[in-house]
């Protein structure tokens, strides 16, 4: 297969989608991006253009709008594969508004699969999450059982994997489900990064927003966990490493290398870091002390989770290249770039 097939990216303006758009363009793919910009900015397309030098357009489409989605896919008949990021992702909000999550994450995916089937598009790479493993014994590999979800958000990822599996059995659709661990960091250009709306739930944007003065202090959730320093352990993966894995998964799929029509891969670094190690890495690269207090455990947090990534390393020929310090350095540069723009 030549190297310029059209790839449809849903959620293209989002955190992981935008970094993947860059990697796809730089690898020579024709990329068609769609997003409803509910959790992102339409200006992201210009930022991608500034990085790659390739004119980028992201079409405003809501994947819940079946008619618009079908019309759009129908007018781009030469799509070889879809990378599907579009979803809501806030765990806490999903507990409060479960139907909103089921409608968007599951309803949107169903619409997308129908549009793909109607247009004979036979390849999809899906954004799943390590949350499907719940509390598992790390390093967690893909054979670890999927556990009862602890939030509607987590449940949408499990259900989507199930419906993708069913569709692959019914139609021969090739599915790669990528289970991300904790994506962090930003592009080296500081032109794209994570744009949390309101108060961030996630650790790294909370750290950078505290350091820039948007938040008073970081609260470390729990210091009495059975870990070396008492704080939780996660596998923080740089978003550029993650974006590159999508390229590898796509190439694997388009080359017909997949051994089964539905397959899953863990994407992490294979290394766990505690909350305090993340803070220390931030303090080192930013050369400042973070305003931090110790608080009680956050409900629902697992003690420790990190990935075994041998499957992605071997089958996809992918491995991470960035360090935790690089994650923190690029996240910090991005936060500073955002602040500079706001102060203009
Ligand atoms: P994000 O919110 O930055 O990106 C998602 C994008 O999808 C946003 O630009 C949003 O506007 C768009 N979107 C949402 N609903 C849509 C709809 N109905 N129609 C069109 N566009 C829509 O999130 P992200 O961090 O880039 O996550 C991307 C995917 O990866 C999501 O599926 C998420 O669940 C999954 N994931 C994220 C993480 C993480 O920690 N960031 C971890 C595991 C899995
Ligand atoms: C990391 C660590 C917190 C904030 C979530 C989702 C998961 C996936 C990734 C989408 C934990 C601690 C955090 C703070 C803190 N997303 N923390 N103070 O919970 O591992 O995973 O994002 O699929 O599904 O659940 O990530 O960044 O929220 O937390 O001490 O203000 O930082 O307790 O130990 P988490 P996180």
pLDDT in tens, 195-209: 998 999 999 999 999
Instruction: Establish whether residue 35 lines the binding site of ligand 1, counting it when its CB lies within 6 angstroms of any ligand atom.
Output: yes
Confidence of residue 210 (pLDDT cuts 50, 70, 90): very high
CA atoms of 307 and 327, how far apart (whole Å): 17
pLDDT, tens digit, for every residue of 245-272?
A: 999 999 999 999 998 999 999 999 999 9
Centroid of ligand 2 to alpha carbon of 200 (angstroms): 10
pLDDT number for residue 145: 97
Nearest to 307 by CA among 273, 268, 274: 268
Ligand having the closest approach to the CA of 132: 2
Domain assignment present for 127: yes
Q: Residue 146: give its domain's CATH number.
A: 3.40.50.720
> Does 156 sit in the ligand 2 pocket, CB within 6 Å?
no
Nearest CA owner, ligand 2 atom 1: 203
15 close to 193: Cβ distance less than 8 angstroms: yes
Give mean pLDDT, residues 113-124: 97
Residue-level pLDDT at 344: 79
Kindly state whether residue 334 falls inside one of the protein's structural domains: no
Query: Which residue range forms the structural domain that includes residue 74?
Result: 6-185+237-268
- The answer to whether residue 300 sits within a structural domain is no
Q: Are 94 and 101 in contact (CB under 8 A)?
A: yes
User: Which of 10, 11, 65 is the pocket-test mutation for ligand 1 (most atoms within 8 Å of CB)?
Assistant: 11
How many helices (H) and strands (E) the chain has is answered by 12, 13
In ligand 1, the atom with minimum distance to the C-alpha of 40 is 9
Q: Is 62 touching ligand 1 by the criterion CB < 6 Å?
A: yes
Overall pTM > 0.95: yes
Determine if ligand 1 sits within 6 Å of the CB of residue 180: yes
**Ligand 1, atom 44, residue with closest C-alpha:** 129
Is 2's pLDDT higher than 50?
no
Secondary structure (3-state) at 1: coil
Residue 98 lies in a domain: yes
In a domain, 95, yes or no: yes
Is 121 within the bounds of a domain?
Answer: yes
Chain mean position to CA 219:
24
DSSP class of residue 57 equals: -
Residue 118 forms part of a structural domain: yes
With respect to residue 1, please indicate whether it lies within any of the assigned structural domains.
no
Total tally of structural domains belonging to the chain = 1
């Amino acid at each position: 297969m030549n190297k310029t097939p059209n790839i449809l990216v849903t959620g293209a303006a989002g955190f992981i989608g935008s970094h993947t758009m860059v990697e796809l363009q730089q690898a020579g793919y024709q990329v068609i991006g769609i997003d409803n910009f509910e959790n992102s900015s339409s200006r992201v397309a210009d930022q991608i253009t500034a990085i790659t030098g390739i004119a980028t357009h992201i079409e405003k489409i809501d994947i819940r709008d079946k008619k618009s989605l079908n019309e759009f896919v129908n007018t781009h008949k030469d799509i070889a594969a879809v990378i599907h990021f579009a979803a809501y992702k806030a765990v806490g909000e999903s507990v409060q508004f479960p139907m909103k999550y089921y409608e968007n994450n599951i309803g949107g995916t169903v619409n997308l699969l129908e549009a793909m089937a109607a247009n004979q598009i036979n390849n999809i790479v899906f954004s799943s999450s390590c949350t499907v493993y719940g509390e598992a014994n790390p390093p967690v590999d893909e054979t670890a059982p999927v556990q009862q979800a602890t939030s509607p958000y987590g449940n949408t990822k499990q259900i989507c994997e199930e419906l993708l599996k069913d569709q692959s059995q019914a139609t021969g659709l090739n599915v790669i489900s990528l289970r991300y661990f904790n994506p962090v960091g930003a592009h080296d250009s500081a032109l794209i990064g994570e744009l949390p709306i309101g108060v961030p739930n996630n650790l790294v944007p909370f750290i950078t927003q505290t350091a820039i003065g948007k938040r008073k202090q970081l609260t470390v959730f729990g210091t009495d966990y059975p870990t070396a320093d008492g704080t939780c352990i996660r596998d923080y993966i740089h978003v550029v490493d993650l974006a590159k894995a999508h390229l590898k998964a796509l190439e694997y799929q388009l080359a017909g290398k997949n051994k089964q029509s539905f397959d899953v891969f863990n994407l992490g670094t294979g290394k766990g870091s505690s909350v305090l190690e993340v803070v220390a890495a931030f303090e080192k690269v930013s050369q400042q002390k973070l305003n931090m207090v110790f608080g009680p455990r956050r409900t629902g947090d697992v003690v420790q989770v990190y990935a075994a990534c041998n499957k992605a390393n071997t089958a996809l020929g992918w491995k991470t290249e960035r360090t935790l310090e690089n994650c923190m350095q690029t996240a910090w540069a991005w936060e500073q770039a955002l602040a500079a723009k706001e102060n203009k």
